[in-house]
Chain A
Amino acid sequence: VIHLYAFVQGLRELEAGLQARPFGAVVAVVGPEEPDPLRHGLVVEGLLDRADAVLPVRFGERFAGDDELAGAVTPRLEALERQLGHVSGCVEVGVRIVPRREASESEDGAAYMRARLLEQVAADELHRELATRARDSVRTSRDAGYLVARSDVDGFSVAVERLLASNPALDVLCTGPWAPYSFAAAT
């Protein structure tokens, strides 16, 4: 069995137990064992320091052998190469809006709606500002992911803190830097 962890470019080294399978300019990082989801995640995060571009693969992509792997990867090489170019040199920073307890436990419906509205307006503003600093961004209602150049991660964190200081309506959980899962689309 071959388990697929990620596609990479500019791979410098590989931790023991993993193998590189090149498909032209795209390299698939695979392993002979089936890991649990946590192990899969740790391997992918570990690649961030070892390659220029890391495109994470969702957990559960397994193949009977090299032929099956090639059959799945080869038709998608163009899309994979494009996505690798997009995330090259970047990591993902996650920003999650944490709902306020007092608002959700309030029995006053109008007060609850007011708090939700304030949160929404503040979250929109935060996202607008952060999106201008990032190469790319994705957002669902309370979760946002930002594709940030490695060299700008510290600057980005400072920007988040500065914006939060001027936004008392928001509680935010900032996570990362992660491998850019949110910018790795199904092909």
Chain B
Amino acid sequence: VRDEVTLVELVDRVLNKGVVVTGDITLSVADVDLVYVGLRLLLASAATLEGEAE
């Protein structure tokens, strides 16, 4: 469990924090990065699959 937490945390950090030196980093809708939205959907669907498998 600990490693999974760390992995999600790590990806969350690189997508949401850190120095930006260019004006536009990713396409965004209402300030929400699409890459990030995509990741959340992916996590949500993995969790849903897991729930269905049980």
Q: Is the CB of B17 within 8 A of A182?
A: yes
Chain B contact residues: helix, strand, loop or mixed: helix
Given contacts A38-B7, A173-B5, A175-B9, contact A56 B20 (CB under 8 A): no
Q: Is the CB of B35 within 8 A of A61?
A: no
Residues of A within 8 A of B9 (CB): 94, 175
Interface residues of B (CB under 8 A from A): 5-7, 9-11, 13-22, 25-26, 35, 39
Expressed in whole angstroms, the minimum distance between the Cβ of A96 and any Cβ of chain B is 9
Q: Is the CB of B14 within 8 A of A61?
A: no
CA–CA, A181 to B25, complex, Å?
Answer: 16
Closest B residue by C-beta to A181: B17
Q: Out of B13, B21, B26, which one reaches A41, CB within 8 Å?
A: B13
Q: Out of A40, A42, A63, A80, which one reaches B19, CB within 8 Å?
A: A80
Closest 9 CB pairs of A and B: A58-B18, A181-B17, A186-B20, A59-B14, A41-B10, A41-B14, A56-B18, A72-B21, A60-B25
Interface residues of A (CB under 8 A from B): 4, 7, 37-38, 40-42, 44-45, 55-61, 63, 72-73, 76, 80, 83, 94, 173, 175, 178, 181-182, 184-187
Q: Out of B6, B25, B26, which one reaches A175, CB within 8 Å?
A: B6
A-B contact pairs, 25 of them (CB 8 A): A37-B11, A37-B14, A38-B10, A41-B11, A44-B14, A56-B19, A57-B18, A57-B21, A58-B25, A59-B15, A60-B15, A60-B25, A61-B21, A61-B25, A63-B22, A72-B21, A76-B21, A173-B5, A175-B9, A181-B17, A182-B17, A184-B18, A186-B19, A187-B19, A187-B20
